[in-house]
Structure 1
Amino acid sequence: MSSISSTKATPSSSATASSQSGLLKQPRAVWAVGFACIIAFMGLGLVDPILPAIAHKLNASQSEVTLLFTSYNAVMAVAMLVTGAISSRLGIKGTLLSGIVIIALFAALGGSSNGIWTLIGLRGGWGLGNALFVATALSAIVMMSKSGTAKAIILYEAAIGLGISVGPLLGGELGSISWRGPFFGVAVLMVVAFISLSIMMPKSTAPKSARPKTSILDPFRALKHRSLVVFGVAACLYNFGFFTLMAYAPFVMDLNERGLGYVFLGWGVFLAITSVFMAPVLQRRFGTVKSMCWMLFLFGLVLLAMGIWTSTQWVIIAAVIVAGGLLGNNNTLITTGVMNAAPVERSTASAAYSFLRFIGGAIAPYTAGKLADHFNHQVPFIVGAGFVILSVLFIWMNKKHINHVDQVEAGH
């Protein structure tokens, strides 16, 4: 199979399956994809601690360096629209391996580059590979898991959290040697991921002729569902704040590569812990939508604090780490919501949602750099906080279109 069916299980059958399969009782293929996810998401954290070093070594401005995130996210946003069409033809394993190869290639080329604009372009190629891998990995884990959608998403977010938390530590250590180190480190890790996935994940037994072909227009058709649009626009708005923190916070912490690595290690660890252990509790007790709104509201306040006390180093460091916990909760909550938002194939829903989400991630980093150039270091965080609060208001104004996601999950 190359995509996830939107057919919902009946409560009785799902309850039986859930009782028989716990969170850790997963098929071998799920663990193979999860392991590859850990390595793939180490790539994001590996690069973050070296942003100031890149600016210094390549004689680039802060706004130019933030384009490393802009090109990455812009390509990811567009590529998300075609991931379904590609995976339905190559199959899940073929698409995952293709994404890994592309990431490894462009990471290695990035480590060999000598100019900021060449590096920006290569990061766009990296984003293409990541789009193929990320969208397909989520679909694969949800489809192959025996524990239901919610637990499958927890596993996916746990893999992301582990990768993001370990990545900055390794990136800081390699970056303290050379800014090129993390890029080559990603390439090596992708080779490891390729080998492990090739060995551990079985090929699809279904013949190619039996695979349902996904159209490139399917994500656009999926956006006819108001629920997906609400989640996507909200994610676009809050990603403005998220990538402002990711791309610009390293420039105001006044730390070396190793120091930045440890700060973002704390960020990633907190993200991993909350995404796995806290988010499900919040969802059960308060519901998906209400919990999302509170997490985003608190994240907005954290960004506002960063904007007010930008020159106070310990405030920025603490805020980054606390933000990891809030984002870990929100990532699990909103991903679960998207998977249950509309009566379309989950891979298609993920592609449509991710297209909207990464638009915010593409605009925010460069905007943050330009705001700092024209005003001061405080303005990017204050503007980011405004966008995050706006996402809360948008969700609350449209909650009637997405309140059903908790009822859908309860049916599983």
Structure 2
Amino acid sequence: MQKNDDVHWIGSTQIYMNELRKEFNVSSTSPIRTATVLISGIGYYELYVNGQSVDPSRKLDPGWTTYEKRTLMVSYDLTPMIKGGMNAVGVKLGNGWYSQEQYVPPSASEPNYGPPRLMFALSIVFVSSETMSVVSDQTWKGRQGSIVHDSVYNGEIVDSRNDRVDWAKVGFNDSFSLWVTPEIMQSPINVAANGQLSLQDMPPIRAGVDALQFEIDNPLNLENSYLSKEDLAGIQGGNLHDGGVLKPISVSTPVLGVHTFDMGQNMVGWCRFHFHGPRGLGIYIRHAEVLAQPVDSTKQSYGGIYTENLRGATQTDSYILRGDPNGEIYEPRFTVHGFRYISVYGSPVGLSVNDVECPVVHSQTTVKGHFASSNPIINQIQHNVQWGQLGNSMSLPTDW
């Protein structure tokens, strides 16, 4: 990207400015030939144009880097979304890895990261060869949205009473929130140390069905295989061919007011919940890989989750209801969890397995082949290896 002094990093040091928007007028005298944007929102961002998400399954973007050495930006073709007349763009920001909260000594040094910030440069070329630009500067407006706090390890706190449905549409007017002018923020890049802003060329992180593709069919459906379906039926856990979204296999109520869901598979991602309840009620969600073991003295277990192995990470999402009589959907945006079990605290109504579904999240991946044997133990090991590899592919190899 060539240097453009009109493009600034914008954000705020005074409030958690995680929603920014701008309206702009596009001339209708000549048709639009191309509309291309370069964007970097760190730690994470989501981009909306005229109220629509530009790439709904793309998550936790851009990829994790050492930001002062290399910060990634992403290019989108917005030609189908930009029209003559008034347009609006909106960007949600999250802390991601650009947050001191993720770097706790002595496990890692504490870089001088945060708060989140946005760099945006939209270039429109008309059939007449005229051009126009829309860039991140102090003509934008920003506020703290419904996400009160977000953390990779520690989850989200969301107050849905602060949701604004049409915030990224033209003509939006908000009489309940204060939208303020963003500050010009320092670039995350250390130019003196040869840091650079680079176009992201690694596969994006995606959620659900778009995260995983297959070059071959499901091995259960292959003709002329020497293995029968019965040979492969003993594998325990989720099926990679099930569309990238897991449903709980069971739900229990170990204590009053707590629902514990078993996903049947250790996975990396988050869950989408369907809640009902009065406005202002808080619901709390914890994630764990295993259940608590029985107490030695009584040999009894109350069925709760075991979290001592999380080493300080809370893996907790908190959601405050807005009181929609038709119910409301909560799905985290800027956190990710490793888990098999979920405990939901405080729901005023009973929850069933139909109220929860969990998209599997990882870098976009294509499965090139398959392996199966007549030995059920080897098949289970292969299954576990595949799920472990996918769960730890999050723009770079991790140890989730």
The structure with the greater share of residues assigned to strand is: 2
Same fold (TM over 0.5): no
The structure with the greater share of residues assigned to helix is: 1
User: Could you tell me the TM-score, scaled by structure 2's length?
Assistant: 0.30
Structure with larger RCO (C-alpha < 8 A, sep 6+):
1
Q: Greater Rg, structure 1 or structure 2?
A: 2
User: Could you tell me the TM-score, scaled by structure 1's length?
Assistant: 0.29
